[in-house]
A and B are shown apart, each in its own frame.
Chain A
Amino acid sequence: MGYTLIEKIIKKNAGLEDIAPGQIVTVNVDRVMVHDIFIPFVADKFQEMGFKKLWDPDKVVLIYDHLVPTSAVEDVRHFQIGDAFVEKYGLTHVHRRDGICHQLMTEAGYAKPGDIVFGTDSHTTTYGCVGCFSSGIGYTEMASILGTGEMWVRVPETIKIVINGKLPANVTSKDIILRIIGDLRADGATYKALEITGSTVDEMSVASRMTISNMAVEAGAKCCLFRPDEKTCSYSEVSPEETAWLYGDDDADYERIISYKAEEFVPVCACPSQVDNIHPVSDVEGTKIDQVFIGSCTNGRLEDLAVAARILEGKKVACKCIITPASRKIYIEAIEAGYMDILAKAGCIITQPGCGLCCGRAGGILTDGEKVVATNNRNFLGRMGTSKVGIYLASPATAATSAITATISVPK
């Protein structure tokens, strides 16, 4: 009997002979990520628990992203507490202005194939794109890892999703994950691991896979893993030999196997106000919108900006179109590729990299009766302003196309 990918990672990490879903296992954590919103609470709990030092400062990454740039006086308090924590416990991996945590964790090589990583943010599932078991936790739990380096996990059942074939033009990995969430529903993968395979995802860039792993949590998933390949190795700067063990066995015990034909995907969006309220974009085409947002850890990468630039080249946006690159590196690459020039000339508002609008604290908040097409990961009530804002989650292609006419439009 074989093992699924997540089973292999946990088994190896804990040095077990055998492993099965439902088992409670204590794992040795390879890396943790704490962001600015939660550092004050983590620091408090860490102290309250009676720890004197970090289990391993090299394994801790602190990232400021939700409050960068600050939009309120109190925001600075988070930096002050974070900086004091850095000083006191000797952290060396600190990013105060470089972009969104999830982008940086893989981009800067903190989360590698086969690692076990936890972060104080639900979208920590993102690092599954390089075959890393990563998941979000709360700050109390984070404080205890910081002291012990350990965490208990329940070995999850695995749902395998197989996607074969060639995606139609203007259909992106965002449309795939939205469709999957719509099919599984918002709680369809709760406590479970997703493992995504097939020729379609083999063809995908690591960045596109990242979009899928990122949003898997919206179906409740604990993690969402891709088998590392050559692209992964080159992205994560590891050798193929190091990742050779990272695949799900054919005879592993999958809870379910769901198959999709790539050709059958269409551009979709998550309509207000549930992530699993998925409809083809064509169903809501023509809906008047007030704003477009392209960014976030879901879709703020270079290839996303490339799509937006291709669609908006030589055009003018008809409503506010806010672009928030996921990281400093991406911002610079987008300048060098000429995308920023095109987007700025089209009238887009290009902001400093960070969580921006997605976390609802700044960067384009809306009000009653307004509608937005956004490339991020959540459309919950009140997420981007008042509870009477309609948020449509879609791909960068759909978002950019919709900006041209200020109506929801199918990318062509």
Chain B
Amino acid sequence: MGMTIGEKIIARAAGVDVVKPNDIHTVTLDRMMSNDGTTHLTVDMYNNKLKHPKIADNKKVVFIMDHNVPAENPKTAEAHKKMRNFAREHDIALYEGQGICHQIMMEDYVCPGELIFGADSHTTTYGALGAFGTGVGCTDFLYAMTTGTSWVMVPETLRFNLHGKLPEGVYARDLILTIIGDIGANGANYKIMEFAGDGAHNLTIDERIVLCNLTVEAGAKAGIVEPDEKVVEFCQAHGRKAVHMFKSDEDASFARVYEYDLSKIKPVVVRPDFVDNFDTLEVVKKEKIKIDESFVGSCNNGRIEDLRIAADVVKGRQVHPNVRFLIAPASQAVYIQALEEGIITTLMKAGAMVMNTNCSVCWGSCQGVIGKDEVLISTGTRNFKGRAGDPSSKVYMANAATCAASAVKGYICGPEDL
């Protein structure tokens, strides 16, 4: 019996030849990432709850401040101080305001075939390079950090065979939102979502990030795109070597196989307050839903391709006077590239507000918080009730082009309506 990509990664991490779904294995982790959302809690537990704490391998641990950067009140400043001091004390790699954790991990660490724990649900992102990334809470993280190991139950794998290419004006974000709409917010609960087929290989690494990042919104433990030459090139360009290029065996067993024709995908607008509250732009835009804020950013959609799309839409136009159009590049590297391509200038000239790289609007903290009864259209990862601010506010999810076009018009619409 063959194995899926995810099973092979777990087998490697467990040091065994074969694993099968529902097995429980002790695994050695390749990398552990924690951000400022919870690191201070981990540090507290480390200092106060353990008898003789020690970090198994500090070279495998990465701390990234991205959720509240720069700090917006003394409480977050205090959490940052704790994180910074701990990183210095234990010689742990520390990033402060240099990008969203998952983007930094992609740029600087992730390699195919690795098993990575992140104290953040969107750690599934790393599957874009053929790695197994999964989110854990801070207690699990503490165990992993102090022992270098953890236990995993081998998940079943859902296979998504993607065919063809996305039409012009349709993006990876529309694809994954469509899939989540189809299978539901728990459609991949505790499972791996594996993407393969010519359609998957047609996607750029940035697009694969979008795909894998949101798999957690269908409940997935990991989202993995079958690695290919593009992964090798990406790793090389970032000074790393792609060694463990796992593919699912011909006779691997999938819990279910889905087929998607990418040419059929349409621009999506997800309605509040659930990520699987799927609808198409075509339908939603008829309602001319008035917006107060629009956001292009997050670990899902804050990369150079997204900023390019947004800039193309607003170029030579002005953001609606009553809309706050906020942009948060996914990392400093993305920001620098966008500066050099003239994208930031275009966005600023159109009246957008370009923030420093951070999570901000996507999780309703630090910058761009929305108020009572306000409506946000966002490229962020979630639209839960009150996610971006006041509990009475509403969040619609769409691609960067729709968010930019809506920012110009003041209501939800597509770039074709400008």
Contact = CB atoms under 8 A, between A and B. Distances in A.
Assess A/B contact in the complex (Cβ within 8 A).
Answer: yes
Interface of A: 68-77, 79-80, 83, 94, 96-97, 290, 320, 322, 328, 331-332, 335-336, 340-341, 344-345, 347, 349-352, 357, 361-370, 385-386
A61 B263 CA distance: 51
Given A77-B372, A96-B324, A347 B98 contact: yes
Contacts of B335: 344, 350
B367 A70 contact: yes
B238 interface: no
Which of B74, B322, B324 has the most C-beta atoms of chain A within 10 angstroms of its own C-beta?
Answer: B74
28 contacts: A69-B324, A69-B367, A70-B368, A70-B389, A73-B369, A73-B371, A73-B389, A75-B369, A76-B292, A76-B369, A76-B371, A77-B372, A320-B97, A332-B348, A340-B339, A341-B336, A344-B335, A344-B336, A350-B356, A351-B70, A351-B355, A352-B354, A362-B70, A365-B74, A365-B76, A366-B77, A370-B77, A370-B81
B349 interface: yes
What are the 7 A-B residue pairs with the smallest beta carbon separation, nearest first?
A76-B371, A364-B70, A367-B77, A349-B97, A362-B72, A69-B367, A71-B72
A349 B74 contact: no
A68 B321 CA distance: 14
Contact of A71 (B98, B322, B369): B369
Nearest to B374: A76
B366 interface: yes
Nearest to B97: A349
B353 interface: yes
Nearest to A291: B70
A352 B360 CA distance: 13
B284 interface: no
B366 A352 contact: no
B107 interface: no
Given A69-B326, A76-B372, A320 B353 contact: no
Contact of B355 (A69, A96, A367): A69
A213 B97 CA distance: 33
B339 to A, nearest CB: 5
A100 to B, nearest CB: 14
A365 B370 CA distance: 20
Contact of A83 (B70, B77, B322, B390): B322
B96 A367 contact: no
Given A69-B368, A350-B356, A96 B69 contact: no
Nearest to B371: A76
A83 B320 CA distance: 13
Interface residues of B, number: 45
B321 A96 contact: yes
B382 to A, nearest CB: 17
Contact of A332 (B80, B349, B366): B349
Given A76-B292, A322-B356, A332-B348, 16 more contacts: A68-B353, A73-B390, A76-B372, A80-B371, A96-B324, A328-B351, A341-B336, A344-B332, A345-B336, A349-B69, A351-B356, A352-B353, A352-B354, A361-B72, A367-B71, A367-B81
- Chain A CB within 10 Å, residue with most, of B70, B367, B370: B70
B339 A364 contact: no
B345 interface: yes
Contacts of B374: 76
Contacts, number: 133
B91 interface: no
Contacts of A364: 70-71
B198 interface: no
A340 B71 CA distance: 21
A367 B78 contact: yes
Contacts of B321: 94, 96
Given A97-B351, A352-B354, A70 B70 contact: no
A62 to B, nearest CB: 12
Contacts of B168: none
Nearest to A94: B321
B17 interface: no
Contacts of A76: 292, 369-372, 374, 389-390
Interface in B73-96: 73-74, 76-78, 80-81, 96
A341 B340 contact: yes
Most central of A74, A320, A364, A367 by chain B CB within 10 Å:
A367
Interface in B55-77: 69-74, 76-77
B180 interface: no
Contact of B371 (A77, A328, A347, A363): A77
A368 to B, nearest CB: 7
B344 interface: yes
Nearest to B81: A367
Contacts of A362: 70, 72, 366-367
A385 B77 contact: yes
A365 B70 contact: yes
A335 B372 contact: no
A69 B360 CA distance: 10
Contacts of B81: 290, 367, 369-370
A227 to B, nearest CB: 34
Nearest to A319: B96
B348 A328 contact: yes
Looking at A69, A320, A345, A370, the one whose CB has the most chain B CB atoms below 10 A away is A69
A364 B68 CA distance: 9
Contact of A74 (B322, B349, B351, B371): B371
A367 B344 contact: no
Contacts of A77: 371-372
Contacts of A332: 345, 348-349
B73 to A, nearest CB: 5
B340 to A, nearest CB: 7
B368 to A, nearest CB: 5
Interface string B357-384: 1001000001111111010000000000
Nearest to A387: B74
Contacts of B70: 320, 322, 349, 351, 357, 362-365
Contacts of B389: 70, 73, 76
A335 B344 contact: yes
A65 to B, nearest CB: 12
Interface string B278-300: 00000000000000100000000
A74 B76 CA distance: 19
B140 to A, nearest CB: 28
